[in-house]
Structure 1
Amino acid sequence: MEFYGFVWALMILGFWSSDRRSTCTALTPDGLSLLTFKAAVSSDPADALSEWSEDDEDPCRWPGISCANISGTPRVVGVAVSGKNLSGYIPSELGTLLYLRRLNLHSNRLSGHIPSELFNATSLHSLFLYDNNLSGSIPPSLCDLPRLQNLDLSKNSIAGTIPLDLRHCRQLQRLLLAKNHLYGEIPAGIWPDMASLSQLDLSSNQFNGSIPTDIGELGSLSGTLNLSHNHFSGEIPSSLGRLPADVSLDLRFNNLSGEIPQTGSLSNQGPTAFLNNPLLCGFPLQNPCQDDAAPAPPGRQIPSPTTDATPEKRGLRPGLIILISIADAVGVALIGLIAVYVYWRVKDQDNACSCTGRSKLGGEGKVGICGCWRAGIGSEEEESDKGEGGGGEGDLVAIDKGFVFELDELLRASAYVLGKSGLGIVYKVVLGNGIPVAVRRLGEGGAQRYKEFSAEAQAIGRVKHPNIVRLRAYYWANDEKLLITDFISNGNLATALRGRAGQASLSWTLRLKIMKGAARGLAHLHECNPRKFVHGDVKPSNILLDVDYNAYISDFGLIRLISIAGNEVSSSSSGGFMGGALPVTKPAPLDRPNPYRAPEARSPNARPSQKSDIYSFGLVLFEMVTGKSPEFSSPSTPSTSSAGVDGIPELVRWVRRCFDEAKPLSEILDPVLLRELHAKKEVLGVFHVALSCTETDPEARPRMKTVSEILDRIGGA
């Protein structure tokens, strides 16, 4: 009996083992290959792979795995396990996933070499392995992938040189190798064959030698060509001028020398593109190049002109005669100007009227009996007569010479409150000629710095562009400061995006129109005036709209004017009322940070910059296409704050995560826009612009001029 019991036990064990083996082999080959990756992971603190089980029939329901039905069989086409702090290595068995298109393992702690067998997965078109601890060299078999379009190996410890075989990656669109340990010269002959390359980042490595001249043949580049933080030497090749006009160069922190060529797109670069190359000279740097003429050798005397020993009468030289004539003409002109000046001063005193329109705010009746106030006349003379306090009287100074009205007209006109914020109260005032203006009252103020305030207001008022709210005039008195701007009648973008009562939300066509107009206005502020303004507070509430939905940038320079006037400005002030038609609103809470600020601009002592403006504009673009504000919290990252520890808004993280994981556009897009999916290419174009604007590294962001030009090409003018 014991013998038969033993046999029976063996039979049961055999059946169990057989059943167990059949269960294991039920998992598809793709699933088994993925389990080798799970086995290669030595640490999984977030349990990202805990649901990857050998008991499943296929891996298509595993977190991070995407499948497609190919010839009636589910096959793995996407692996996205990023930002999970996984430790371990990449196994070669992943190369057996023949239909794998996207491998996304970025932002982990994976180490070891990139196995060359990985490139047996010939369907791969996107490989994102950045921000790991990978080492070794760039595999020479990399370009055996016929469909490879996106390769990001940045932020690793990859060493070695750039392989010449890289030229075989003819379909490659993005090549990002920044922040590794690559070294040596970049071989010539790579770039002409990479006709599809749109993004190239080789920054923060140890490359040396000269910049290859054939990089200038990358006609599909856009955004930033980043070669910074290397050891490149020699002159900047003039062939880089053949790059597209919208390409921004970053050549900082190298050993480049010589004069910066002024050809093609090179002449459009700002000074930041060339900083920290001590031997570079020429425009746009403030380091002029030396004259070509060499000094005379030591000991060699320059011969003096020969003189005739015979005394001879000489007349005045022709050059001296010309100088004397010019001096006479200047003297006569100066005397004439003084006479005209004295005449007008005496005339003003005789008529008891200042043509600057000086009058005490709240005084009786008209400005003066002559009613001669006109824009800007006599403003400089009046400023020179005043101390820092501006005197006890008020000055109404018009900046636009075509904008003419009297002070009492402004004071007596009907007005109603448009809005209140930490930046003051704004009224709508209709002048006697029927023209509405917006008047912002800055308050009484403490510090009396009239000259500084006037200079700043004059500089702001000189900015003229169809997409910028014009500052027309200002009023200064010890107890009152006013700014008079154009009135824009259709509210702001923040209100329009959320829809008004009885009105539908913005269509895609209108959103694209607003994006383009706002980009043109901001680009003009940044580059098309002597001051190269920084806005410092770009957000939807500061983009005003008229009845035709033309966009107007408002409130630039406002915080600076308020601080000069001596008032405190809340760092979280919502603003957005300068010239806009808005309902009365309460100021934002003092402890609420501005969610549109760039990460580098969030520290208390940080100064805004043009690059932080561009980041904020990228957030505005994201909001316009997703319908979500920067304070949005994704389901996977519930949070009440608008940004993480590193200051990156969750909206930016979410959009990047969606693109990395190749989420359907329907899951990212504002639901209001889903019925307009015929504009899919336009929407994707805007997403890519916004992604480049919200790069964490400020220098990797494009110039606002570039952003505007790219947006103008989306969907036509």
Structure 2
Amino acid sequence: MVFPVRIKYNIIILFSLLLYFRNPVAKTDSSSSNNGYYVQEMNALFALKAMFNDPFLIQNWTGIHCFKDFPSQWYGIQCDINSAHVTGIVLEDMRLNGEIKSDAFADIPELIVINFKNNIISGNFMNFSSNHKLKDIDLSGNKFYGEISRSLLSLKFLESLQLQNNNLTGPVPEFNQSSLKVFNVSNNNLSGSIPKTQTLQLFRSYSYSNNPYLCGPPSLNNCSSTGNYVTNSDDKGSNDLKIFYFLLAALCIVTVLMLFIFYLTKRTRKPNIMIKKQEEYMDQEKESGDDEEEEEEKIGKGKRKLVVAGEDRNLVFIDDEQPAGFKLNDLLKAPAEGLGKGIFGNSYKALLEGRAPVVVKRLRDLKPLSTEELRKQLLVIADQKHPNLLPLLAYYFSNDEKLLVYKFAGNGNLFNRIHGGKSSKNRIPFRCWSRLLVARGVARALEYLHHKDKSRTQSAVIHGNLKSTNILLDDNEMVLVSDYGFSSLVAQPIAAQRMISYKSPEYQSSKKISRKSDVWSFGCLLLELLTGRISTHSAPQGINGADLCSWVLRAVREEWTAEIFDSEISVQRSAAHGMLKLLQVAIQCCNKSPEKRPEMAEVVSELEIIKVTESTEEEEDFSLDQSLTDESLSISTVASASERP
């Protein structure tokens, strides 16, 4: 009897499980205990599923959650394939709703990772006293309330605790684990003095910000000046002192206002204000609570002038090569169009009179760098000169503003080219040949950044944030990689939250990134190119994606490889062989073990020999081509190898 492929796969799993439970070792007390843990874990997960009542989880959390020698088929569940125990629950950005119980994880003792980031989950803060192996806890962006459980103090291996953007109250526990490297409790309702443990004092003030009743270093709230923390507040002398300080403060405010009014009446030149953009875009900024920009009167037809705050200074052009007729004043007077919000700042298209337009990126959330330190870091970025890198033209730096000026790429970014307008009749299909050219261009740029050359003044550069929105296409469809080298400009905790390389498997386990992290990001980018699906690691804000690495590996294991490819390239039967070769490269780059990933020089060599016909004729869907069987099997071998640690 011939079984369909997926049924064969399920039969193999069931047969493996029967062997597992029939193993004579299972009769020992230790194994019986393990089986007990197994049932407890499954019951705990079923309780979570019932609480969330999410259609996607209801459909995907069925059958056996963990089994030996196979990865879990439950979405977001990570298992140890040797012990068949749950080690991770990662359900971020799923809009999950429900009230979780405080003992929800008591029966999952092998947990290492819990990630519920950006959902709508509520409930009293959980007790983790049974989860001694926990390393990474991310509950940020939810509605958890109550005090932070002191059970966290017993977690000796805790490396990352992110609880920002919740409704937590009470004090901050006395965390002093030397392993704790990432910590954030901002945007809650915590109160009291921050404990003076060595670990907690190492984190910056933003880890504690927007907790009005939390005081003491490293926060910016002074305990002695906060009414709730002044001792003997009912004492008459204390009240008199408060009244005195209040009157003194009022007098200072009146004096400052009078001086300010006098200054305005004497001032003959109006100061520059801040970066401006289109009116509709500014309205969106206001709705999202972004108070970094101020609005001026409308100028022209829907255009905004590009202006910066602070004293009048000049743009600093790279290599001191200032283009004729392009000065800071020209930039300030130019109409500006908002291009979008990036993770490190907003971007604007400045329309210079008589010149090609440029892009101005206004940076935020930088490290506290001096002018000289910032100049050195920007020169490192500017030193990277390659045809597939977006060149930095100039920069501007003051206490109030930090601007980067780039060449404008007229054909937008790769994300829009892959995913935009697919339902439109006017869309130009994105064929195999064009996608291969993009892959080659990005690979060459990364190879250049990673390569150490004596002729270059700087050492290798890690991109750190490679994703489809940072791949641009100019008027000639030339691939230009942007936003490289920014990891040197921002604080590590912010980089860990926002940059793609920090989502790699090695950072989740060892909190380290390297050039191989860029290789992993490149593999994810290739899978986005091939599948036409949005990656959860690089999806823009407000858009949900899929874990493409896991999804593709599962597709390869179950031998429905041809179903992986985007419909716009699956119609090109003549390109099937080349696309399968590109898929092999992507799977190698996505290997969980960094040392098993290729170097970018090897990737470039592999891509250069891939042959794809440039024809745009629609042909028979190559998923029907039986000749792909052997090729798919070779990919299965690569996929199996990529899963082994």
| Alignment TM class, shorter chain as reference | 0.3 to 0.5
Mark the structure with the bigger radius of gyration: 1
For normalisation by structure 2, the TM-score amounts to 0.45
**TM-score w.r.t. length of structure 1:** 0.41
- Whichever structure has more helix as a proportion of its residues is 2
